[in-house]
Structure 1
Amino acid sequence: MDKFEQRRDRFALFDSMDSPALNLCFTLTLPDFRPWCRAQGLAPFHVLLCATLRAVLKIENFCYRIVDGEVIRIERLNPSFTVTNANDDLNFAMFAWSDDLHTFVARSRAAGAEAAGMTALNTQYAALSPRAAKEQVFVTCIPWLDFTSIQHPTATLAQPDIPSLAWGRFRDAPNGALTLPFSVQAHHGFVDGLHIHRLATQITAELTTILQLGSE
C-alpha cells in the first residue's frame, strides 16, 4: 500500500466529490486471437475475459477498494460478467478463478450458460461477504455495437471503487490485428488515464503470451 499512500491526497480530493468516477472509452487494438481460439475450440469472449482480468491484477491501481471507509488492496478476483437469457433480459454469471486458461474458459462458459438459462435474476453475488464482494470487476460485453461512450450504474455515486469494464464489436484491422471499443470506469482517486493506458497495454501483453504459449 506504499504506492497508494503517495496518492492519498488525490484520493481525498476525488473521494469528496459527488461522483469520483472516471469513465473513459477508447478503441483498443489487439492481436487477432480469433483464429487461434477457433483452432483451440475456445470462445474469444472468454479468452479476452481471462486476459483482461489477468491484466487487472497486474495494475495495482485497479486493485484498490474501499472497505468500512478504509482503502485496501485486493490480491484475487471473483470473475463475473453479464449475459442475456431467453427473454433477452440481463443476468449475472460468476465463477471461481483458475490460473489455467482452459479451466478458466470452461468455468466461464458453464457459468454463462447457467445464468443465461435462468429467468430470475442470479443473486449469487449477494451471498458474498462485504470483503469478498470487493474482489470483483464488473464486466459486460456489447458485441453488436461500436459504442463511443457508456455510463455504468453504481450502488452509490460516492463510491465507484469496483471498476466496470465493457467492450463491444470486434473489427478486422490491418497487419493481423483487430479493434474494439473498450470502456473503463473506475474511482479517480485510484485510477488516472495513465493507468487505463497501462491496463490496455497489459491486456495486449496477456493475449500475446496466451498466443505464444499456445503455439509451443
Structure 2
Amino acid sequence: MQNFEKRRDRFELFDRMDSPAVNLCFTLDLPDYRPWCKQHGLPPFHVLLCAVLRSTLAIENFRYRVFEGEVIAIERLMPSFTVVNQHNDLNFALFDWSDDLRTFCERGIKAREQACAMTALNNQYAALSPRQCKDQVFVTCIPWLDFTSIQHPIASIKSPDIPSLAWGRFRDAPNGRLQLPFSVQAHHGFVDGFHIHQLAERIAAELTGFMTSRP
C-alpha cells in the first residue's frame, strides 16, 4: 500500500465526485494467438480471460478496492464472466482460480456450461461475503459487436472500485496481429489512462508468454 499513499490525494479528489469512474474504450492490439489455441486444444476466450486477469493482478492499481471505508489491495481473484443461456438471457459464471492455464480453461468451461444451463440467475454470488466480493473483476464479452463505447452498471455510482472490463468482436490485423474493441472502467482514484495503457501492454505480453511455453 506504500504506492497507494503516493496517490491518496488523487483518490480523495475523485472519490468526492458524484461519479469517480473513468471509462475508456480502445482498440486492443494483440498477437494472433488463435492458431496456437487451436494447436493446443484451448478455447481462445478463456485463454484471453486468463491473460486479462493475470494482467490485472500484475498491475497494482487494478488491485485496489474500498472495503469498510478503507482502501485495500487484493491479492487474489475469483474469475467470473457473463454468459448467455438457452433463452438468450444474461447469466454469470464464477469459478476458482488456477495458475495453470489448462486447468484455468477447464474450470472456466465447466462454469460456463453450468451458467448457460440455468434459467434463474446464478446465485453463487449470494454466498460471498462483502470482503470476498472485492476479489473480483467484472468481465463481459460481446463477440457479435465491434463496439466503440460501453457503460457498465455500477451497484453504487459513488463506488466503482471493482474494475469492469469488456471486449468485442475479433478482427484480423496485418502482420499476424489481432485487434478487438476493449473497454476498461475503474475508479479514477486508482487508475489513470497510463495504467490502462499498461494493462493493454501486459495482456499482449501474457499471450506472447503463453505461446512461447507449453500449456
| TM-score category (smaller protein) | over 0.9
- What TM-score does the superposition give when structure 2 sets the normalisation length? 0.99
Q: How does 1:39-50 map to 2 (within 5 A)?
A: 39-50=39-50
User: What is the root-mean-square deviation in Å for CA atoms of aligned residues?
Assistant: 0.7
Q: 1:130, 1:117 → 2: CA distance?
A: 27
Q: 1:189, 1:156 → 2: CA distance?
A: 16
For the pair 1:161 / 2:161, whether they are aligned, the reply is yes
One-letter code aligned to 1:96: D
Query: Secondary structure of 2:25's match?
Result: strand
Give the unaligned 5+ runs of structure 2. Answer: none
Query: Secondary structure of 1:152's match?
Result: coil
Q: 2:126, 2:194 → 1: CA distance?
A: 33
Query: Secondary structure of 2:61's match?
Result: helix
Q: 2:16, 2:96 → 1: CA distance?
A: 34
Match of residue 36 from structure 1: 36
Match of residue 8 from structure 1: 8
One-letter code aligned to 1:50: C
Q: How does 1:67-78 map to 2 (within 5 A)?
A: 67-78=67-78
| Distance apart, 1:123 and its partner CA | 1.4
Q: 1:114, 1:84 → 2: CA distance?
A: 11
| Distance apart, 1:214 and its partner CA | 2.6
Q: 1:184, 1:123 → 2: CA distance?
A: 25
Deviations 1:25-62 (A, max 9, x none): 00000000001111111110000000000000000000
Q: 2:126, 2:162 → 1: CA distance?
A: 15
- Equivalent pairs counted in the alignment come to 215
Runs of 4+ off more than 3 Å: none
Q: 2:43, 2:67 → 1: CA distance?
A: 35
Q: How does 1:1-216 map to 2 (within 5 A)?
A: 1-214=1-214
